[in-house]
Amino acid sequence: MITVCGAGTLGANLLENLARSGVTPLRVIDCDRVEPRNLANQPYTTLQLKQPKCTALAELLFYAAGTQLETVEKRLTAENARKFLHGSSLVVDCFDNSGSRAAVQNACRTLGLPCLHVGLSRDRYGEVVWDERYVVPADTDGLPACLEISRNLALMVVCAATEAVTAFQGSQARRSFSLTLGDLAVTEL
């Protein structure tokens, strides 16, 4: 079971890529609802506005690829992370805040689960990094990063994350990537 934490710009697009690639079983953890601002970078439709993101994504993946997505419509916290992540063969952290990222990291380390962190920054940079090399960043003030990130960068990061997940599934290889949109650089770390 691959568990993706977060059904926003990175998590929802990553789950769509994995489902369309035939990767199963999949689980998503998210507590948010689809909002109009999500439609620019996330695969949801106007018909799904106000639905829980987990429900909307499960519907989308079923109709697009016949994938049954297991959903956890809860906020992941330090207190419940081990419970929600237990039984995963791989955890992919796509959250957009440091508190949730730290909860995922701590739970994965406690449970001995492989964990891949996928993130974006406001300065046109993205990364796909395995937990052994990952440092949880500090939260930044202001609007959530997803409001200022281009769809192009988000989809490039999602493609790199898809490569990292499928390489891990195929051979347990742990590929990490750094992506910079400004110079269109993708570098394996």
What is the pLDDT, as a whole number, of residue 9? 94
What is the pLDDT, as a whole number, of residue 3? 98
* pLDDT over 90 at 180, yes or no: no
Tell me phi and psi for residue 159, to 5 degrees.
-65, -40
* pLDDT over 90 at 140, yes or no: no
What is the pLDDT, as a whole number, of residue 147? 47
What is the pLDDT, as a whole number, of residue 149? 65
Amino acid at 55: T
Whole-angstrom distance, CA of residue 85 vs CA of residue 104: 8
Tens digit of pLDDT for each residue in 78-121? Answer: 999 999 999 999 999 999 899 999 999 999 999 999 999 999 88
Give 185's pLDDT tier (boundaries 50, 70, 90).
Answer: low
* pLDDT over 70 at 37, yes or no: yes
* pLDDT over 90 at 182, yes or no: no
Whole-angstrom distance, CA of residue 90 vs CA of residue 116: 8
What is the pLDDT, as a whole number, of residue 146? 46
**Measuring CA to CA, how many Å separate 171 from each of 74, 90, 115, 116?**
32, 13, 15, 15
- What the block records as the tokens of 166 is 């499928």
Give 137's pLDDT tier (boundaries 50, 70, 90).
Answer: confident
Give 142's pLDDT tier (boundaries 50, 70, 90).
Answer: very low
Average pLDDT, the chain: 91
